[in-house]
């Protein structure tokens, strides 16, 4: 083989690998890949086909019955309305399942959809949400002064509303607001409207925080006896593995949808993957702040193993 032929083959394999990674790992469509790689969609299709032929890509057909069984068992044992279990935590697949749950909820014009924050929610919105014309999209918490990209709650709301064909409503407030500041904010018509929307939210998309990471957040402090029991949080509402509330010093200043309001939402979707989130997911489900779950088979297996070891085998009524 000549040097030119060798170089051409290496370049072609590099292109195959790049296209396969974008499609199978990052969840991009062939059209999106063609734009990013600046080639035609026909070329992308050929690259993906050759990648499979050369063994770069190994496709495993998952037994859907197993995933469905996991979902059905978790629904019963945790008293949830719906559980969607995926073989992997691929963002595009997670977003698709969240979209299906929202679509099945028959949300009409004027329905309120609350958006949480965190890396998972950020990724879901980047992957895309379904069209739900006329819905009102609101933040589940304040966060105006946050600097990390996964806490840019108003930007999440704006993007989600654009994707859904809905109306975005923003909360121009920080995560924490003193009693004096809250009194001022409540006199602001836009803020008062957000508070009213929280009381009648129809659906929510929420991340589930793992306490080990959240505990490093400045300003969130717990008594020593309580800190050891915390497993996770939903929009800064912390809980133990049984779902019991664990309050933190200054929580009365939290500018977010309340635990009680979360528990009243008809469809409150918690989205989380990864074995490190197992206890946080369990506590969130038991707390009632989520009543639907989208996760992966690894988490589902670990949840079921934990419930089996705990002797929890009797189904619970869905909340």
Which pLDDT score, from 0 to 100, does residue 215 have? 45
Q: Same topology for domains 3-53 and 64-309, yes or no?
A: no
Task: Please report the DSSP string for the chain in residue order.
Answer: --HHHHHHHHHHHHHHHHHHIIIIIS---HHHHHHHHTS-HHHHHHHHHHHHHTTS-------HHHHHHHHHHHHHHHT-SEEEEESS--HHHHHHHHHHHHHHTT--TT-EEEE--SHHHHHHHHH-----TT-EEEESB--TT--SGGG-HHHHHHHHHHHHT-EE----S-SB--HHHHHHHHTSHHHHHHHHHHTT--EEEEE-EEHHHHTTSTT----HHHHTT--EEETTEEE-TT--EE--TTGGGB-B--HHHHHH-SEEEEE--SGGGHHHHHHHHHHTS-SEEEEEHHHHHHHHHHHHHTT--S-----
120, 272 Cβ separation under 8 angstroms: yes
Distance in angstroms (rounded) separating the CA atoms of residues 27 and 46? 17
pLDDT (tens, 9 = 90+) of the chain, 319 residues, equals: 555 455 455 457 888 889 888 888 887 888 889 899 888 888 888 888 888 888 888 765 555 566 789 999 999 999 999 999 998 778 888 999 999 999 999 999 999 999 999 999 999 998 899 999 999 999 999 987 777 888 889 999 999 999 999 999 999 888 888 878 878 888 889 999 999 999 999 999 999 998 864 444 556 778 777 888 999 999 999 999 999 999 988 888 899 999 999 999 999 999 999 999 999 999 999 999 999 999 999 999 999 999 999 877 656 666 6
Which pLDDT score, from 0 to 100, does residue 108 have? 96
166, 134 Cβ separation under 8 angstroms: yes
Which pLDDT score, from 0 to 100, does residue 4 have? 47
Token pair 């009648």 is found at 200
Which pLDDT score, from 0 to 100, does residue 313 have? 64
Query: What six digits make up the tokens of 305?
Result: 């193993």
Residues in CB range of 185: below 8 A, 6 or more apart? 173, 177, 191, 255
Number of residues in the chain: 319
Residue 276, Cβ neighbours under 10 Å: how many? 12
By CB neighbour count within 10 A (0-12 exposed, 13-18 middle, 19+ buried), where does 272 fall? buried
Task: Output the CA angle 275-280-281, nearest 5 degrees.
Answer: 80
Q: Where are the domains of the chain?
A: 3-53, 64-309
Q: Which CATH class is domain 64-309?
A: alpha beta
Between 1.10.287, 1.10.10, 3.60.21, 3.40.50, what CATH number should domain 3-53 receive? 1.10.10
Distance in angstroms (rounded) separating the CA atoms of residues 81 and 68? 14
Which pLDDT score, from 0 to 100, does residue 213 have? 46
111, 197 Cβ separation under 8 angstroms: no
């Amino acid at each position: 083989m000549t040097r030119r032929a060798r170089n051409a083959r290496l370049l072609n394999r590099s292109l195959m690998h790049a296209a396969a990674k974008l499609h199978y790992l990052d969840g991009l469509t062939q059209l999106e890949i063609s734009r990013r790689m600046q080639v035609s969609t026909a070329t992308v299709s050929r690259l993906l086909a050759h990648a499979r032929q050369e063994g770069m890509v190994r496709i495993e057909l998952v037994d859907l019955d197993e995933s469905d069984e996991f979902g059905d068992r978790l629904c019963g044992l945790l008293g949830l309305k719906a559980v969607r279990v995926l073989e992997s935590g691929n963002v595009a697949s997670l977003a698709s399942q969240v979209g299906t749950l929202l679509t099945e909820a028959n949300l009409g014009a004027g329905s309120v959809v609350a958006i949480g924050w965190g890396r998972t929610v950020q990724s879901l919105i980047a992957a895309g949400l379904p069209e739900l014309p006329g819905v009102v999209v609101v933040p589940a918490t304040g966060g105006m002064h946050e600097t990390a990209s996964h806490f840019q709650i108003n930007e999440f709301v704006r993007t989600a509303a654009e994707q859904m064909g809905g109306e975005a409503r923003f909360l121009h407030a920080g995560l924490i607001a003193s009693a004096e500041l809250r009194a001022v904010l409540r006199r602001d018509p836009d803020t008062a409207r957000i508070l009213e929307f929280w009381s009648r939210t129809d659906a929510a998309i929420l991340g589930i925080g793992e306490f080990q990471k959240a505990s490093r957040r400045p300003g969130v402090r717990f008594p020593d006896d309580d800190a050891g029991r915390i497993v996770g949080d939903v929009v800064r509402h912390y809980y133990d593995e049984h779902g019991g509330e664990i309050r933190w010093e200054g929580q009365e200043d939290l500018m977010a949808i309340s635990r009680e309001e979360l528990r009243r939402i008809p469809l409150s979707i918690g989205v989380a993957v990864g074995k490190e989130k197992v206890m946080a997911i369990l506590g969130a489900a038991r707390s009632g702040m989520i009543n639907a779950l989208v996760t992966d088979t690894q988490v589902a297996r670990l949840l079921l193993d934990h419930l089996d070891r705990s002797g929890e085998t009797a189904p619970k009524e869905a909340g």
